[in-house]
Amino acid sequence: MALRDTPSACPALWRCLPCPPAELRLDLVLTSGQAFRWRESSPGAWTGVLGGRVWTLRQDRDRLWYTLYGEEEEDGRPVEAAKPDGAETDRILRDYFQLDVGLPALYRAWGAADPLFRKVADDFPGVRVLRQDPVECLLSFICTSNNHISRITAMIERLCQAFGRRLCCLDAQPFHAFPSLSALAGADAEARLRALGFGYRARFVSGSARAIAEGLGADGLRQLRAVPYAEARRVLCALPGVGTKVADCVCLMALDKAEAVPVDTHVWRIAQQRYGTALGGKSLTPRAHQEIGDFFRGLWGPRAGWAQAVLFCADLRKGQEPAGSRGRAKGARGRDSRGDGPP
């Protein structure tokens, strides 16, 4: 089935939400190393998997347009694009992009507190933090150790193809749901992941999936949204392959801890070179991570993780390769020091 990337192609199958660019820029948010399952399927249109469904998103002036695709029929033929079911799909997108958080007011507050933020912000509006499924977010970020966005994206795609339920095929591109915990906790999961090129991360992905399945469970992991930041981070750091940086990524992007500041080599360099701090010394230890996070929380306030996401996106874009390399920036969020109808 061909992608229908514009509402004008089949308007009954598209819905829209009010959403000006100052509140959301898809091209920035979906390529900034927060999530790895979106691709630009045509200029300005982004297709990916969210909540076990395949979506295409598009922006036009002050509106965010979206459509969904049905699952394949038993004979393998894809069903046509499905008419969105209104209030529920709106709710899913609003939740995913946290659209109830007013971004322009936050930008003004951060800029008033920080001239360096103000200097960057005008060129990078609409950068907001996603609210992701905690299991998917955690297992994805385990794959980011010593890695970069293009490679992480390819790894997550192989993971989903090998272990996830097939949803549909669009323009010869198959889409799969993110795997269940049980699928990744199986006895042969680690060996299969190694065969897929996960290397040492295979043990951590399968081990954390098993630990969650046998302990907290997916619901328990999600319930960490209701506990204090320090407690959530402590629980996460007890999982195989989860250090402070990965835990903070999950706290920020899946567990509602807006104060979490993931510190990797990018953020460490920003703190030292742009803010003139001596934080972190010569190596990025857990203590240095805490000191840098505390510095930015003191500067930007209770949503420091959101402000940091803006600077991270700006730094990432500055380091990207020339045209044609979108999403291929080295050392993305994943670089861990140890690791009305659009036209």
CATH assignment of 7-105, among 3.40.50.720, 3.30.310.40, 3.20.20.10, 3.40.640.10 = 3.30.310.40
Rounded Cα gap, residues 188 and 120, in angstroms: 47
> Which pLDDT score, from 0 to 100, does residue 49 have?
97
Domains of the chain by residue range: 7-105, 133-257, 260-321
| List 83, 119, 245, 282, catalytic entry | 245
Q: In a structure prediction context, what are the per-residue pLDDT tens digits for the chain, which is 343 residues long?
A: 455 566 655 556 899 999 999 999 999 999 999 999 999 999 999 999 999 999 999 999 999 999 999 876 555 555 556 666 688 999 999 999 999 999 999 999 999 999 999 999 999 999 999 999 999 999 999 998 878 889 999 999 999 999 999 999 998 899 999 999 999 999 999 999 999 999 999 999 999 999 999 999 999 999 999 999 999 999 999 999 999 999 999 999 999 999 999 998 878 888 888 887 676 667 788 888 898 999 999 999 999 999 999 999 998 887 653 333 333 344 445 444 333 333 2
Q: Is 119 a catalytic residue?
A: no
> Which pLDDT score, from 0 to 100, does residue 56 have?
96
45-50 and 38-42 as β-strands: parallel, antiparallel, unpaired? antiparallel
Domain 260-321 falls under CATH 1.10.1670.10 = yes
Domain made up of 133-257: CATH architecture? Orthogonal Bundle (1.10)
> Which pLDDT score, from 0 to 100, does residue 327 have?
37
> Which pLDDT score, from 0 to 100, does residue 322 have?
34
